[in-house]
């Protein structure tokens, strides 16, 4: 047993815990499903798998065991992704899980400088993305808008679409469906942030619409 144990492994474990805490703290502060404990354990576990992989590989491939972390961590990441309506949540948390495993592996294989380079890069990206998006990228959203009209009011469809086009940046009709005595129209819209409330006000005030969602 002692022939495989090195003091360096303890240092790697400590460094891995620190890296996991740094990544996990950001998720914990935002009250995400994978927080401080989860991210730290993922990072630490990946480090352990990497250490075992190269210690027990002998003359074989030292990345053989560690390579399964890449595929295995995908299942864990998929567990934090969920869809509500037309919006998908959890993609950033899944990405954090993925890079936490990668950082843990790098530490396990002794590439501490590489690990912390990517750790710092990840923290910068996570915390600056909102600022960059707000100040440097076009402020518009792509949404699927569903409108429900009674069959007798279907003739007013073109007028409604014209009003929506005046509010939004772009509108495309992608589906038309009849349900009993109603017609459901699905639109792909591109709208600026500042116009969302204007669109909502129009939709809520339109008595021809039986129902809408986006």
Q: What's the confidence (pLDDT) of residue 77?
A: 75
Q: Which residues sit opposite 213 in a β-bridge?
A: 146
Q: What's the confidence (pLDDT) of residue 1?
A: 46
Q: What's the confidence (pLDDT) of residue 83?
A: 65
In order along the chain (214 residues), what is the average pLDDT of each group of 10 residues? 70 93 84 80 90 76 72 77 66 87 91 93 85 65 82 84 84 84 86 81 84 82
* H or E segment to which residue 154 belongs: none
Q: Record the pTM.
A: 0.64
Q: Which residues contact 70 (CB under 8 A, 6 or more apart)?
A: 101
d(CA 27, CA 34): 7
d(CA 98, CA 39): 9
Greatest alpha-carbon span in the chain? 83
d(CA 132, CA 159): 37
Token output for 210: 């039986």
Q: What's the confidence (pLDDT) of residue 171?
A: 83
Q: Work out the burial of residue 211: count CB atoms within 10 Å of its CB; fewer than 13 is exposed, 13-18 middle, 19 or more buried.
A: exposed
Q: What's the confidence (pLDDT) of residue 3?
A: 55
- Which residue bears the tokens 């502060």? 29
Q: How far is CA 190 from CA 172, 185, 211, 212, in A?
A: 9, 16, 20, 16
**Domains in the chain and their CATH numbers?**
7-136 (no CATH), 140-213 (3.30.70.260)
d(CA 135, CA 169): 19
Can you list the pairs that 165-169 forms with residues at least 24 positions away whose Cβ atoms lie under 8 Å? 167/191, 167/195, 167/198, 167/199, 167/202, 168/195, 168/199, 169/140
Beta strand ranges found along 64-135 (DSSP E) = 82-84, 87-89
CA dihedral 147, 152, 156, 160 (to 10 degrees): -20
Residue 92 and residue 80 in contact, taking contact as beta carbons nearer than 8 Å: no
- Which residue bears the tokens 């129902």? 211
d(CA 83, CA 159): 32
């Amino acid at each position: 047993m002692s022939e495989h144990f090195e003091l360096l492994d303890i240092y790697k474990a400590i460094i891995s815990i620190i890296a996991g805490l740094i990544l996990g703290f950001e998720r914990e502060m935002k009250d995400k499903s994978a927080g401080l404990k989860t991210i730290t354990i993922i990072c630490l576990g990946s480090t352990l798998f990497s250490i075992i992989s190269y210690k027990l590989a002998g003359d074989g491939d030292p990345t053989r065991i560690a390579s399964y972390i890449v595929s295995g961590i995908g299942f864990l990441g998929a567990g934090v992704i969920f869809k509500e309506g037309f919006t998908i949540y959890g993609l950033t948390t899944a990405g954090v899980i993925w890079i936490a495993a990668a950082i843990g592996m790098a530490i396990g294989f002794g590439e501490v400088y590489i690990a912390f380079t990517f750790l710092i890069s990840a923290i910068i990206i996570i915390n600056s993305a909102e600022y960059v998006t707000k100040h440097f990228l076009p402020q518009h959203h792509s949404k699927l808008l569903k409108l429900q009209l009674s069959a007798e009011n279907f003739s007013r469809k073109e007028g409604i679409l014209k009003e929506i086009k005046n509010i939004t940046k772009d509108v495309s009709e992608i589906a038309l469906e009849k349900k009993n005595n109603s017609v459901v129209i699905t639109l792909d819209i591109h709208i600026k942030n500042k116009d969302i409330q204007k669109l909502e006000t129009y939709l809520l005030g339109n008595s021809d619409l039986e129902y809408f969602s986006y």
